[in-house]
A and B are shown apart, each in its own frame.
Chain A
């Protein structure tokens, strides 16, 4: 650790991993409810479990991004953080707000929660991924602004590198596009149109800047390749990501009451969206092959390469699979969407956050890398989680293809629920893959507690 204030990243990373575990527990509950419909009903209805599952994902990724920024920015800027105390204070505010929200979801009826948190003043709740009560949303904005202030001031007073500027841009974009979550007109089409300005322009827009910056940072550290080389490829990759991804928003505007031309614009540009992901994979492997040093943290290198490959598969390939309008006409809102969502989020964002944690956490704990024993366990967790996720995706894809066939293509279409019974076998296999994923995650957590001969810090 080069700067004392980087230490503030540690609680963020710990919270991220803790919430990740909770997210997967709820994922397992959901998977179970897919096959045993009345599992935990009425204590935890499906809609509540799903809300917790997706919201936890978003919150822990945000914890991860913020932790990453607190770790990276002092080192990039070559100066201490503007205010470590503010960063720590915001950690507790965000953690408590997040915990209260989740407890609210689980203990209070959603309509009651809405009533007591000001949803009648400004209705923003009840939309996918934006289920948070108004108070939580405002809390997110406050935390984000304070965080951005802290980070921006740090960058301004220190060295400005391409990585820190791109990271800042991504984080500012994240905050700005979140503001559209406060816009909720009665007109359903407008509501959906701008809902995607949060969701799509996050995950296929500004988050990609954050992801690319994180990846570039770790690659510089573990490969020792010239910063100049990595930074110019960083620019090229994010340029391609935004050039295709911004108009690519159109692939969500096919069937929600928007004009027909989005089918063309959306198809054409989102067909190009795999290119930046492919470029990122090639880039990551290329840099590792050109490495000038053997970094002792093998696990971090593995996660970095895995991010490239899995982001390309999940976001690139599985996205392309159903992005063309004539295909999407049949697959829209089916298990194929779920398959893509799982692998894309895991491959792009979960893995990149774990990459930075894997790289930074040993250093934060005062060593260059974990002991070989701990690293071996961590690599086991990598393979368990990643392969399990591949299988989750494959089974959901199979379920989706069958679902589309029976429900939408067949001469005599079956009803939704009848089809669900037909594909139950795939849901069972998905749930078992989920269990393996959970085991992998437990192994990952355990790897933090494995002792062994460690290398001293200084790398």
Chain B
């Protein structure tokens, strides 16, 4: 895995987790929940691949792909914000956070459009197993995006006040780790639910 990535900087000694242990335990719990949900989807699909494929084809893949780009970009901006804070430029990082929030808002807008179309087409949690998973997984994730935005908003308020710096990274690194988790699960969710058949 590492060989595929560009060269990494010499690891700081000793190796540390970026962010608070508490948030990381929470992230692990969330990853577990999503992971089990993904696997449940895959095995439910295995019982009825044709039906899943038919309904899957009707999803708006363009919207899904654009949302992936938005989330990735938001994540990248958050990385820049963390780096800025580390360089002692907390206020500069605040601007990156605003940009990330903008991308997240775009994600939310597109997702709401997608839901509106789905509901007007009569799709609900009870209309089929695929739709149950599609709505459950995306809505569960959607709520995480909203929570992530609340967290990014809080980081922004603090960053704007110049709170973060090389000696105070715990808050921003914790929030950033949570946001990347939201991104990470979408990176699997998108191909799984929208594309692979």
Contact = CB atoms under 8 A, between A and B. Distances in A.
Contact of A268 (B22, B26, B40, B126): B40
B36 A272 contact: yes
Interface stretch (A107-115, A256-264, A334-342): A256-264
Given A243-B29, A275-B29, A236 B22 contact: yes
B32 A264 contact: no
A268 B22 CA distance: 22
A272 B126 contact: no
A134 B111 CA distance: 47
Contacts of B136: 261, 264-265
Interface string B14-40: 000000001001100100110011001
A259 B29 contact: no
A236 B132 CA distance: 31
Residue from A239, A261, A271, A272 having most chain B Cβ neighbours under 10 A: A261
Contacts of B51: none
A264 B136 CA distance: 10
Nearest to A243: B29
Interface residues of B, number: 15
Task: Bin chain A's interface residue count.
Answer: 10 to 19
A260 B44 CA distance: 13
Contacts of A265: 136
Contact of A264 (B26, B29, B132): B132
Contacts, number: 39
Contacts of B25: 236, 240
Nearest to B30: A243
Contacts of B133: 264
A262 to B, nearest CB: 10
Nearest to A247: B33
Contact of B26 (A239, A271, A272): A239
B125 interface: yes
B36 to A, nearest CB: 5
A235 B29 contact: no
Nearest to A237: B25
Contact of B40 (A232, A264, A275): A264
A333 B26 CA distance: 33
Q: Is the interface of B mostly helix, strand, loop or mixed?
A: helix
A244 interface: yes
Contacts of B33: 244, 268-269, 272
A445 B73 CA distance: 65
Contacts of A232: 22
A313 to B, nearest CB: 21
A259 B26 contact: no
A261 B22 CA distance: 31
Contacts of B29: 240, 243-244, 272, 275
Contacts of B132: 260-261, 264
Interface in A58-79: none
A244 B33 CA distance: 9
Contacts of B126: 259-261
B125 A272 contact: no
B26 to A, nearest CB: 7
A58 B40 CA distance: 37
Nearest to A269: B33
Contacts of A267: 40
A191 B81 CA distance: 50
A240 B125 CA distance: 26
A272 B32 contact: yes
Contact of A259 (B22, B44, B125): B125
Interface in B29-80: 29, 32-33, 36-37, 40, 44
A271 B32 CA distance: 10
A236 B20 CA distance: 12
A232 B20 CA distance: 12
A166 to B, nearest CB: 15
Contacts of A261: 125-126, 132, 136
A455 to B, nearest CB: 38
A236 B125 CA distance: 32
Interface in B109-125: 125
Interface in A254-310: 259-261, 264-265, 267-269, 271-272, 275
27 contacts: A232-B22, A235-B22, A239-B26, A240-B25, A240-B29, A243-B26, A243-B29, A244-B29, A244-B33, A259-B125, A260-B126, A260-B132, A261-B126, A261-B132, A261-B136, A264-B44, A264-B132, A264-B133, A268-B33, A268-B36, A268-B37, A268-B40, A271-B36, A272-B29, A272-B32, A272-B33, A275-B29
Given A240-B25, A261-B132, 16 more contacts: A232-B22, A235-B22, A239-B26, A240-B29, A259-B126, A260-B126, A260-B132, A261-B136, A264-B37, A264-B40, A264-B136, A272-B32, A272-B33, A272-B36, A275-B29, A275-B32
The 3 residue pairs across chains A and B that have the minimum distance between CB atoms: A261-B132, A261-B125, A259-B126
